[in-house]
Structure 1
Amino acid sequence: MKGLIAVMLCSAAMLAACGDESGQPAASATATANSESPAAFKVGTTTRDAALPPAPQLPTDSQVCSTLEANNAYVRQPSGALGPEADKGTTSAILNPDQQRIQAALDACGAAVDAQVGAAISAADAAAAASQTAAAVPNVNISGASAQQLAQPRYRASQFAVRLVVSSSGPGNAFITGPLTLPSGVTLWIDTGVTVYATRDVMAYAPNATGPYCANTAVSATKAGSSGNCLPLIGGNYLVNSAVEGGGSIDSRAYSEIVSSNPLYPLMRVDLSCTNTYVSYAAGQQAGNGTPCDNGGTFVDTAASARHMTWWDLAWLGNMIENGTTGVGSQSNFRMMVFNYAKNLTLYGITLNNSANFHVVPSGVDGLTVWDVKVQTPTLAASANPAGNGNPNYLGMLPSVDTAKNTDAFDPGSASKPLVQALTTGSTTTSAAGKIAFDGYLKNAVFAYNYLSTGDDDISPKGSNNPSPAGSGLFGIDGNRNVATDRQYGFVIAHNHIYAGHGVSIGSETNAGVTNIQVYDNSFDGTEAALRIKSDWARGGAVTNINYNNICIRNSEQALLFTAFYSTKALANPTSPLYPDFHNISMLNVHIIGGTAVTLQGFQANTGGIPHVALPLGMTLTNVLADSPDNVSVSTSDANLTLVNVNLPIFASAANNVVLNGTASRSLSTEKAVDCSEAYVDFPGIGVSSPAGQTWPGSQ
């Protein structure tokens, strides 16, 4: 892989400048502006990191429960798209040919795994829970056996993987499927060369005949749509040792026209007409022409010739037109993956493309590992169109990161409450071996060696839920909570290459708090925002002990974006706002290349005329240097900042409540800035290319 070389080793004398082999600074390191220092840490070259757990491994052939071959009728095109003739039809047999057989294989494997290790898992968890109860630790939810304990071989079945492979008798290399349920203990192995395509049939994602409904922008005159109205493409709850792995890819095809195997199901067209109403659909009837739509459209028109909208059409309409920042409107689009309550959940080696909404939403997971995953949205497949018109959206805009709204790569968070639950062994079954405890926290999370380029947040930890007892003082996300012994930190984002999108973006849901996150050795190339924390007075919450180190940022619109004023949404109770509080934020060794903007905003006193004190942004910036400081625009307010070796135009301001410890200097040299010479590489992969194309290797 281009740009990755053997890790640079640092002597004891060098640690202060280049950190340990992981790219983190040594604990005793003290940066100074004028001390002698060796060569700076080289971002993007670390291949071994002692601070992380061991890298995931693919299953062996002997660990496979069953192998499914692709049908020769389904062949991926060079653009990454599936040929339009492959699923041209109106029946579920044509539109969704592989869901049933893939789910049957997953269910059979899940039942076999549970029969072999379910009782052992339940017994281990019960023993751990009893010990925790006996300890009577105040304000700590019972978590049962840890993910680290359950990762031991005794809790893993001898066969646990369902493998999807290319056809052995022809060109077939693709599967078309609707929503799949991942059972506990099972790995879905998508082999190299295989693409799993999401069905275009809306009926696969619409679980309820009487609502809430999928594929709309509004479900009433006053209520917006929601992704929760749709089943995810891959989902799973109450899991131990589950994974989605392999060298293949998943394409949600959010760029494709939505169709329905049920002609009565309401769909919106690009002319904003609809095919039916939900009221008539629930009654098994067809609404007459001219009837007002109840899905965000205008009027029913059964004779219209305009095509149906795509999932991204719905996202643009709901977010950019019907909603904006304060209105009513949002898309009911399916998410690619949603997992709730798990111990040891792994995504490894796979490529994820073109989600209709968020790509991966893991909540309440102990032991979340996302390693060597590629997320690229949109791809060239979004532009593939036999008519040759570039497949524009309903307003004529060509596919781009701007038109793929709300396609976050990873949105990890805590779950709403602790619970004791039987493991899921299949799409309709749970374990009879007993129940196990989940405390609802997101713990021991690692995002490492990934390549991410999408239309929204790339990695967005969300502290929206706190499953602790009320008043416990604990955080929704706390990287220091129950850290496993096979790693140094409990929440790490390291060694990633990030391209389009909003970078590492904490929030905006921070109401339950986010703390103790380590972000190091990452490159950001062409991101809309690179390092970001966002919240507002409709959310509030503390964000603290966030540590950024050894970061390269090139050509980002907003290299640093920290704001307590993310949106202008009205408060549910105008006299009781919630207060965002960002403090103890550390930024060490950040190198900014190209023109950009920087926003550093804490929460202002008496915002909106409601009496309260200011909550200033508390941040230390050390060795934060721009190649072109004259091309950096900085906005600061309500901030207490410590500056050491910084050349950004940051100034004290009594009017804006900005207090500085130290000063910035325009004339500082970037000779001792973190080394970005090998940080920027083309997005890897064959046949999954961005509409922006590639450049010559090593070009900057």
Structure 2
Amino acid sequence: MFILHCNLKVIISGMLAVLVSGFSATLLAQDSPDFPEPALPTHICARLVPHQVYSSGDDTQRLQSAIDNCPRGEALQLLAGRFFSGPLTMKSGVTLWISHGAMLAANPDPRVYDKNGRCGTLDHKGNGCRPFILFRNTDGGGIIGEGIIDGQGGELMKGENESWWQLARRAQTEGRAQNVPRLVEIDDGSHILFHGITLRNSPGFHVTLKNVQGAIFWGVRIDTPANARNTDGIDPISSQNILIAHSFIRTGDDNVAIKAGAGGPTRHVLLVDNHFYWGHGMSIGSETVGGISDIRVRDLTLDGTTSGLRIKSDNSRGGLVSDIRYENVCLRGNRRPLDFDTRYDVHASGSNIPVYRDISLSHISGETGQLVLRGYDAVHSLHFVLDGVYFSNAARWLIESAQLRIGPGGVSPVPPGEAPLQQSVVAADCAKNWSPFPVTDMPSVK
């Protein structure tokens, strides 16, 4: 059974009660770690149909006008077909409902996202573009529905001979930063709901949350090619009370990355019953300077991610990462199924030393690969509990500056320096947990 610390459970349960109260959902008992699925909105402020011909016009103005004029607590519904838009700004309490068969496609013209004349170019900062959809200082609302938001990251930028993704790859080879839009950015928001929506082909990160107090991602699908650089799935940054549940994520970078920068700590994040495919794994970091704590990950599959369970930081951006619990996790096809490293960038310099403490792994099963537990030094060592952790005999440990405690479920293979086990470690039955990625149908062009 997955055990939530009382503080985490009460806070997230309270957050959920507030968040879904407008969606006619009721909470389960306070001692249950499960949550009810949010219901669809009952009040629709407007229903929009697409242009009869996809190429006939840009929908930005009418979409933004409809959002601005939608009353708080109601939803703007996009009906089946294709909508084409530049950047949109959401309003407090307004939900964007993208129906089954509807697609909202992002304009690939860098000029419509431009902040400082740099969008669609390379420089050494990479912050020259507005996001496609922005929530700023909003309370309530979100994005729901069985439709698609497509960032068109693989399409040629208007007026250029390369796509957003090709620009990002060129930035890597030239040692510079790409100026590309994120798909969704939530800044200083609260009580945000994403439900059922497919987010795909973002030019950059798919969803970032910065200084957010309360958000739910339920049944979300994030789908981007493995070679699309810097296309993280969901990144909570300096945020609190976040639930990610029953979602499917494959990306060209971190599937989920929990971060904490100078803006403050990230705390009380719960991931339940999620499936990750290609990508860089279930990550914490690399920015941890603000402190990260009270993270719970349970019932997760990592099917082909390069890293599996991962905490990454270094002395240029380190901080305290503590009270992290992983339980009931199945891994296969990973190069580093466990990747807990305080020297993420070996060339980094600074005095912000990463410290990972009070971290437990329970009922974890995988195949082969490198199992990395690397603390910074003897003074700043890792503190881990391993209980029922099973990998094949071909897996290899890389352990430096780490203090381990082995639980009654044992560990296999036995880490170097640990006493041989007196009992066999039982691998989890992961066969029943693997699930193919549920691809969302693309609406036809009229």
TM-score relative to the length of structure 1: 0.57
Which residue, out of 443, 456, 459, partners 2:256?
459
Aligned twin of 2:234? 410
Tell me what 1:633 maps to: 396
**Is 1:100 aligned with 2:61?**
yes
Say which SS state the counterpart of residue 495 (structure 1) adopts.
strand
CA distance in structure 1 between the partners assigned to 2:327 and 2:262 by the alignment: 27
Q: Deviations over 1:351-397 (max 9, x none)?
A: 0111111000011222210110001112xxxxxxxxxxxxxxxxxxx
Tell me how far apart the structure 1 counterparts of residues 276 and 335 of structure 2 sit (CA, whole Å): 14
Q: Which residue in 2 is equivalent to 1:363?
A: 210
Residues 1:674 and 2:424 aligned together: no
How do 1:76-475 residues align onto structure 2 when only pairs under 5 Å count?
Answer: 86=55, 97-109=58-70, 112-113=71-72, 157=73, 160-166=74-80, 173-207=81-115, 211-218=116-123, 224-226=124-126, 228-260=127-159, 267=160, 308-319=161-172, 321-323=173-175, 329-378=176-225, 401=226, 403-414=227-238, 442-467=239-264
Q: Conserved in 2, the CA contact under 8 Å of 1:646 and 1:668?
A: no
Distance 1:643 1:544 in 2: 18
Give yes or no for the alignment of 1:600 onto 2:377.
no
CA distance in 2, matches of 1:465, 1:370: 25
Read off the aligned partner of 1:176 and give its amino acid letter. Answer: F
> Which digits, 9 at most, give the CA deviation of each residue in 1:35-69, with x for residues without a partner?
xxxxxxxxxxxxx9932443222112xx1111110
Structure with higher RCO (Cα < 8 A, 6+ apart): 1
> Deviation at 1:597?
1.6
* Among 560, 563, 569, the residue aligned to 2:341: 563
Structure 1 residue matching 2:174: 3-state secondary structure: helix
Give the alignment of 1:614-625 within 5 angstroms.
Answer: 614-625=379-390
2:63 is paired with a residue of what secondary structure?
helix
Aligned equivalents of 2:258, 2:125: Cα separation in 1: 23
3-state DSSP class of the match of 2:432?
Answer: coil
Q: Measure, in 1, the Cα distance between the counterparts of 2:106 and 2:125.
A: 21
Question: Which protein has the bigger strand share?
Answer: 2
Aligned equivalent of 2:16: none
Structure 1 distance, partners of 2:64, 2:243, is 28
- Counterpart CA distance in 2 for 1:601 and 1:358 is 28
CA contact (8 A) 1:455 1:500 kept: yes
- Looking at structure 2, the residues matched to 412 and 554 of structure 1 have their Cα atoms a distance apart, in angstroms, of 25
The answer (yes or no) to whether the contact 1:603–1:615 under 8 Å persists in 2 is: yes
Give the drift of 1:216. Answer: 1.4
Cα pair 2:4 2:33 within 8 Å, conserved? no
Q: CA deviation at 1:340?
A: 0.8
**Paired residue secondary structure (1:521):** strand
Measure, in 2, the Cα distance between the counterparts of 1:309 and 1:687.
26
Residue 73, structure 1, aligned to residue 53, structure 2: yes
How many percent identity over aligned positions?
32
Rounded Cα–Cα distance in structure 1 between residues aligned with 2:35 and 2:212 = 16
Deviations 1:227-257 (A, max 9, x none): x310101001111111100000111111010
Q: Whole-Å Cα distance in 2 between the matches of residues 339 and 25 of structure 1?
A: 30
Cα deviation, 1:298-332, whole Å, max 9, x if unaligned, reads xxxxxxxxxx111001111112x112xxxxx1111
**TM-aligned CA deviation for residue 26 of structure 1:** 8.2
Where does residue 15 of structure 2 map in the other structure? none
Task: Name the SS for the 1:595 alignment partner.
Answer: coil
- Deviation, 1:649, is 4.4
1:516 pairs, out of 294, 308, 314, with: 294
Paired residue type of 2:151: S
Deviation for aligned residue 1:604:
2.4
Question: Are the structure 2 counterparts of residues 664 and 603 from structure 1 closer, same or farther at C-alpha, using a change threshold of 3 Å?
Answer: farther
Q: Which runs of 5+ in 2 are unaligned?
A: 6-27
Match of 2:23 in 1: none
Aligned length: 417
Q: Secondary structure at the match of 1:240?
A: coil
- Residue 548 of structure 1, CA deviation: 0.5
Distance change in 2, residues 1:540/1:108 (3 Å): same
Q: Give, as a single letter, the amino acid of the residue that structure 2 aligns with 1:339.
A: I
1:138-188 per-residue CA deviation (whole Å, 9 max, x = no partner) reads xxxxxxxxxxxxxxxxxxx4xx1110002xxxxxx1111110001111000
Aligned AA for 2:396? S
Supply the distance in 2 between the matched residues of 1:506 and 1:448 (Cα, whole angstroms).
17
Distance in 2 between residues matched to 1:350 and 1:175, nearest whole Å: 15
CA drift of 1:678 comes to 1.1
Query: Could you give the per-residue CA deviations for residues 545-579 of structure 1, whole angstroms, max 9, x where no partner exists?
Result: 100011111111111000001113443xxxx5211
CA distance in 2, matches of 1:404, 1:462: 21
**Which secondary structure does the structure 2 equivalent of 1:333 belong to?**
coil
What CA deviation, in whole Å up to 9, does each residue of 1:663-689 have, x standing for no partner? 354x9645x33331211011113437x
Aligned partner of residue 236 in structure 1, secondary structure = strand
Report what 2:359 is aligned to. Answer: 585
* Paired residue secondary structure (1:241): coil
> How far apart are the structure 2 equivalents of 1:193 and 1:669?
51
Question: Which residue does the alignment assign to 2:322?
Answer: 544
State the SS of the aligned residue for 1:315. Answer: helix
Q: Is the 8 A contact 2:211 2:263 kept in 1?
A: no
Given that 1:335 and 1:359 are in contact with CA atoms closer than 8 Å, whether structure 2 keeps it comes out as yes
Identify the residue that residue 34 of structure 1 maps to in structure 2.
none
Give secondary structure in 1 for the equivalent of 2:211.
strand
| Alignment RMSD | 2.0
Asked if the contact 1:650/1:664 (under 8 Å) is kept, the reply is no
Match of 1:59 among 5, 22, 41: 41
Query: What is the CA–CA distance in structure 2 between the aligned matches of 1:512 and 1:569, rounded to whole Å?
Result: 21
Give the secondary-structure state (helix, strand or coil) at the position aligned to 1:100: helix
Give the corresponding residue for 2:12.
none
Q: Tell me if the contact between 2:314 and 2:348 (Cα under 8 Å) persists in the aligned partners.
A: no
User: Which residue does 2:25 correspond to in 1?
Assistant: none
Aligned to 2:437: 683
Q: Give 3-state SS (helix, strand or coil) of 2:259's partner.
A: coil
